A and B are shown apart, each in its own frame.
Chain A
Amino acid sequence: MTARQTAASGAQEVLMSRFDLTSRLVARLRSDEAVVGGIGNNNFDLWATGRRPQNFYMLGSMGLCFPIALGLALTQPRRRVVAIEGDGSLLMQLGCLATIAERRPANLTLLVMDNGSYQITGGQKAATHHGADLVTIARGCGLNESRWAENTAHFEELLDNALIGDRPHLIAAKIDEAPGRATTDRDPAWIRDTFMRGLGTRS
Chain B
Amino acid sequence: MARWFDTVAAVLKRNEVRLVTYVPDKVLAPLIRALEADSYFTTFCPTREEEAAGIVCGGWMGGMRGIVLMQTSGFATLANVLASLALPYRIPLLMMISERGTLGEFNVGQAMVCRSMRPMLTALGIEHHTLSRRDEIDFIVDRTVNQAIATQEPAAFILSPLLTHAKRQEA
Q: Kindly supply a per-residue 1/0 record for chain B positions 33-60, scoring 1 wherever the CB is within 8 Å of any chain A CB and 0 otherwise.
A: 0000000001010111011111111111
Chain B interface main SS type: helix
Given A60-B84, A74-B42, A96-B47, do A189 and B58 touch, yes or no (CB 8 Å)?
Answer: no
Give A36's nearest chain B residue, CB to CB. Answer: B58
Q: Which of B7-15, B87-95, B106-114, B135-143 is the interface stretch?
A: B87-95
Given contacts A102-B44, A201-B63, contact A72 B88 (CB under 8 A): no
The distance from the CB of A72 to the nearest CB of chain B, in whole angstroms, is: 4
Known: A67-B55, A99-B46. A59 touches B88 (CB 8 A): yes
Shortest distance between the CB of B120 and any CB in chain A (Å): 16
Chain A residues with CB under 8 Å of B53's CB are 64, 67
User: CB < 8 Å: which of A34, A61, A188 contacts B80?
Assistant: A61
Q: Which residues of B contact A192 (CB under 8 A)?
A: 61, 89-91
The answer, among B51, B64, B90, B91, for a CB contact under 8 Å with A75, is B64
- Which residues in B have their C-beta under 8 angstroms from that of A95? 46-48, 51
Residue of A62, A67, A99, A103 with highest tally of chain B CB at under 10 A: A67
Which chain B residues (110-150) contact chain A, with CB distance < 8 Å?
none
Report the bound CA distance from A90 to B132 in whole Å.
Answer: 39
Within 8 Å by CB of A201, from B50, B57, B61, B85, lies: B61
Docked Cα-Cα span, A51 to B80, in Å, equals 27
A200 to B53, CA, bound (A): 22
With A59-B84, A61-B85, A188-B89 in contact, is A96–B51 under 8 Å at CB? yes
Q: Residue on B with the closest CB to A195?
A: B61
B51-A64 in contact (CB<8A): yes
Size of A's binding interface in residues, CB under 8 A? 37
Looking at chain A's contact residues, the main secondary structure is helix
B62 near A199 (CB under 8 angstroms)?
yes
Bound-state Cα–Cα, A196 to B91, Å = 11
CB contacts between A and B, total, < 8 Å? 114
Residues of B within 8 A of A199 (CB): 61-63
- Interface residue? A44 (CB, 8 A): no
Quick check: A67 and B54 within 8 Å, CB to CB?
yes
Q: Does residue B19 face the partner (Cβ distance < 8 Å to A)? A: yes
Q: Which of A33-79 contact B (CB under 8 A)?
A: 34, 36, 56, 58-64, 67-76
**CB of B29 within 8 A of chain A?**
no
- In the complex the two chains form, what is the Cα distance from A98 to B45 in whole Å? 11
B162 within 8 A of A: no
Q: Give the Cβ gap from B113 to chain A, nearest Cβ, in Å.
A: 21
Instruction: Tell me if A67 and B85 are in contact (CB < 8 A).
Output: no
Show 13 residue pairs from A and B whose CB-CB distance is below 8 angstroms, ordered by the A residue: A36-B58, A60-B88, A67-B46, A68-B54, A68-B85, A71-B60, A72-B59, A74-B64, A95-B46, A99-B47, A192-B89, A192-B90, A201-B61
User: Which 4 residue pairs across A and B have the least CB separation, nearest first?
Assistant: A71-B58, A60-B84, A95-B47, A75-B62
